[in-house]
Amino acid sequence: MIKVRVPATSANMGPGFDSLGIALTLYNEFEFRELDNGLKFNGMPEEFCNEKNIIYQAMKHCFDKAGYKIKGLEISEIKQDVPVSRGLGSSSTCIVGGLVGANEILGGKFSEEELLDMAVEIEGHPDNVAPALLGGMVVSITEENKTFYDKVNIKNGLKFVSIVPNFRLSTEKARSVLPKEISMKDGVYNVSRAALMVACLSSGRYELIKYACKDAFHQNYRSKLIPGFEEVYNKSYELGALGCYLSGAGPTIMALIDENNERFSNKLGEFLREEGLEWDILELSLDDAGATIIEGMS
């Protein structure tokens, strides 16, 4: 029996499109068992209980890389706290969980870097899978089918407040509204702010976060798909948020607040109720461990 815990992630972090991501203290947990034959699923909707299941596909990808023919497999989702299609990396938890579980069955054949390359092959970009696997804040790129990354040491003192609406937004739909090309002006705008984001989180100059969060690539386009976005975004700043950005493809809004700000979530909750907006508020911290095997092969 193998149990794997994988954290939620928040990608882009404003201007870092497809390259910046952070792991948070919200988790999905998976359990894997090798069988003599067959394929069995537990704890997930019937529509996902087949060979198209993304967890199974990730495991098969890993097994194929190793040239390993598995006889049978039981896959269980024993904890699902990461909301689906909300911009918090739910699919990445499945991909990373499947790869880590498969690698444990293989006796740890592949390195962390090799698992990351596999995850990016499946996902298509590293911004979510990198922090899900490695933990912390990760800057990552792909070049010639290889992923290169570095972790950012964030100074203490921040809380990450996920403001999660009660509706889903598919990544495909969120990507469909983006422009095919960007101007030099927008490119410079984002590059400078992505660099500032890394710098101010490293140095602890959190008064700069509100400028670093600004984006010209995707937020303006995707926010139009999210009823209540402007109201929640603006209210977050009014209540003292250090910065706000659209988490991943959305629709979750991420607010970065001072860890001593005790009133933010309560006041924002009151505002949401007054406005009739059914959004959940999750106060989270940085997860620095990433994907973790909490019970290994016996």
- Would you say 187 is a known binding-site residue? no
Residue 159 backbone dihedrals phi, psi, to 5 degrees: -120, 150
- Would you say 176 is a known binding-site residue? no
Residues pairing with 138 in the sheet? 21, 151
Residue 152 backbone dihedrals phi, psi, to 5 degrees: -100, 130
Rounded to an integer, what distance in angstroms lies between the CA atom of residue 278 and that of residue 154? Answer: 31
- Would you say 140 is a known binding-site residue? no
Rounded to an integer, what distance in angstroms lies between the CA atom of residue 219 and that of residue 248? Answer: 10
Residue 107 backbone dihedrals phi, psi, to 5 degrees: 80, 25
Q: What is the residue type of 102?
A: A
- Would you say 19 is a known binding-site residue? no
Q: Which positions ≥6 away from 240 have C-beta within 8 Å?
A: 257, 258, 261, 263, 264
Closest CA to 246 of 11, 8, 21: 11
Rounded to an integer, what distance in angstroms lies between the CA atom of residue 101 and that of residue 87? Answer: 24
Chain centre distance of CA 224 = 21
Residues pairing with 264 in the sheet? none
- Would you say 92 is a known binding-site residue? yes
Closest CA to 21 of 142, 113, 104, 134: 134
- Would you say 87 is a known binding-site residue? yes
- Would you say 14 is a known binding-site residue? no
- Would you say 183 is a known binding-site residue? no
- Would you say 252 is a known binding-site residue? no
270 Ramachandran zone, left/alpha/beta (phi>0; psi -120 to 50): alpha
CB 55 within 8 A of CB 75: yes
- Would you say 248 is a known binding-site residue? no
Q: Which two tokens stand for residue 121?
A: 């092959």
Run of H or E residues at 75: strand 72-80
- Would you say 91 is a known binding-site residue? yes
Which residues are known binding-site members for ATP? 83-93
Which residues are known binding-site members? 83-93
